[in-house]
Amino acid sequence: MADYDYIIVGGGSSGCVLANRLSADPSNRVLLIEWGGWDKSWFIRAPATFFRVIEKGTDVFHYTSKGDEGLSGRPTIVPQAKVIGGGSSINGMVYIRGQAADYDHWRQLGCTGWSYEDVLPVFRDLENHECLSNAFHGASGELHVSRGRDAHFLARAFVRAGQEAGIPYNDDFNGSDQQGVGFFHTTTYKGERWSSARAFLEPARARSNLTIMTSHRVDRILTEGRRAVGVLLANGKSVRARREVVLTAGAIATPILLQRSGIGNGQELRKLGIDVVHDLPGVGENYQDHLESTVQFELKQPLSILGQDKGLAALKHLARYLTTRSGLMASNIIESGGFVDTAGTGLPDIQFHVLPTFIGFVDRDQEPGHGIAIGPTFLRPRSRGQVKLSSADADAAPDFRPNSLSDPEDLETLVRGTELAIRIGDQPSLRKLVKRRALPKPGIESDPAALRDYVRSVAKTVYHPAGTAKMGPDSDPMAVVDPELRVHGMEGLRISDCSVMPTLVSGNTNAPVMMIADRAASFMLAER
């Protein structure tokens, strides 16, 4: 049995940060285990091809839920990365941290040390922004963040239309105020994706005290009493951790691994024939995700990116990209968007993602022709789901129940966002370009019941699963980790991924999970 000081299970956004920080001390022997391979695909490195990776790539596998009543019986399908860099290697590269209120709320829930005042310096230290260095942004970290360049005509038209609808322009969604429409900053650098792997793992890769094990799956955590002492690999080999095992496998895989290791709801585990190591009922509960309801408009002229990946047009884009690292292929496509308060609380509750094309769905074909898609996404879901084992068999699909839109307020928020997206599309800067509204069909906005049915029929995840091993104090019986991310009731076991979020942040989750990893490393190193 090989021995290491720290074993990191999952080479994604969090795992790469942890591997870097822990191995910076040459006295630490660190092992990073990733189920997938290295992030060498050209489709990963070029920003504009991320849709090909996330929908059809070999570096992705999909979790499929049971039919969801809140989604008119449709399943939720969540792609998960199977590659070094994890989500940061397949996502849309939108760099959003969330609202200050998100983290202050964590503190109010008993997560001491996680207020916005506590986490902002970590975000700044991680960041190397190409043009901002101020109270909110850093310029010396490993994570390159860029402003969009040469935004698509339709991305700019949306921003103008949003202002015409009364929404202010915002130059920095990660600054003092999230509200407004504008252009997203992205985790790109010189026209290429800047994943957690490129930012944190590649600089550390040559360290003699860091071992990176790819194409290996962890079967379960090895324990002695209530102490994690290593992991058992799917090939039957075991690896020992002298200090800690850290789970960074994501909000679906992490609770599954815990349960398969005997850590979870004891009654449920016994029914599956699993020996209970620690009865921890919160494991796999509290599942949350961001859902989007799309509004789409067909254009009068061929102004979208439809067909730009084929024939002579594709060759021209490729030639420009290869020679200058610019043009359409250097774009993350989701260039513009915004954050809006639709409930009048003072805090944005809807995020817009805008794509200069029609988009399809898992269960619905893409509309034909040239179009623009405006996707309102609710930010703070109240609905809660579950991720549970269906069998002790490691190859069995989990019992995944998102319970989407089970809280009526989530549906109402998404309806308000859909209504606002329709109104933005009716503003002069977009109206002059639009031939017809393709989705939802015109007139539906005057029928509240029909509009709600439409939202249920199209709402889908934007791939931000979280919450299934939530952080909380000892007094919370459903908390899985404490504020230093140690698993309650266990020794030598920590979790550092989106599963520890007690509530979802208001926006994309990649930046927050890297912040969480940096804090986890600080906690671990302070205990040496």
Q: If phi over 0 gives left and psi between -120 and 50 gives alpha, with beta otherwise, what is residue 197?
A: alpha
Q: Residue for token digits 């359409």?
A: 328
For 240, other C-beta atoms within 10 Å of its C-beta total: 15
Query: In 191-346, which residue ranges form alpha helices assigned H by DSSP?
Result: 196, 202-204, 253-260, 266-271, 311-324
- 290 as an active site residue: the answer is no
What's the token pair of residue 311? 């024939």
Q: Which of 129, 137, 185, 464 is labelled catalytic?
A: 464
Consecutive H or E run containing 155? helix 153-164
Amino acid found at 188: T
- What would the two tokens of residue 197 be? 């792997």
Angle at 420 between CA 345 and CA 405, to 5 degrees: 70
β-pairing, 371-378 vs 399-401, is unpaired
Residues 6 or more apart whose Cβ sits within 8 Å of residue 94: 184, 185, 186, 332, 334, 337, 353, 508, 510
Which are the contacts of 168, defined by CB distance < 8 A and separation ≥ 6? 179, 180, 181
Cα within 13 Å of Cα(106), Cβ side: 30
Residue 431 φ then ψ, to 5°: -60, -40
Closest listed residue to residue 75, CA positions, set 507, 499, 399, 509: 399
CA 186, chain centre distance (Å): 14
User: What's the rounded Cα separation, in Å, for the pair 494 and 14?
Assistant: 12
Contact by Cβ (8 Å): 505, 518: no
- CB distance 35 to 60 below 8 Å: no
| Residue in the structure block whose two tokens are 């075991």 | 238
Beta carbons of 388 and 398 less than 8 angstroms apart: yes
Of 147, 121, 116, 145, which is closest to residue 135 (Cα–Cα)? Answer: 121
Q: Which two tokens stand for residue 242?
A: 């002298």
Taking the C-alpha atoms of residue 188 and residue 94, their distance in angstroms, rounded to an integer, is 9
Q: Largest Cα–Cα distance in the chain?
A: 68
The residues that are catalytic are 464
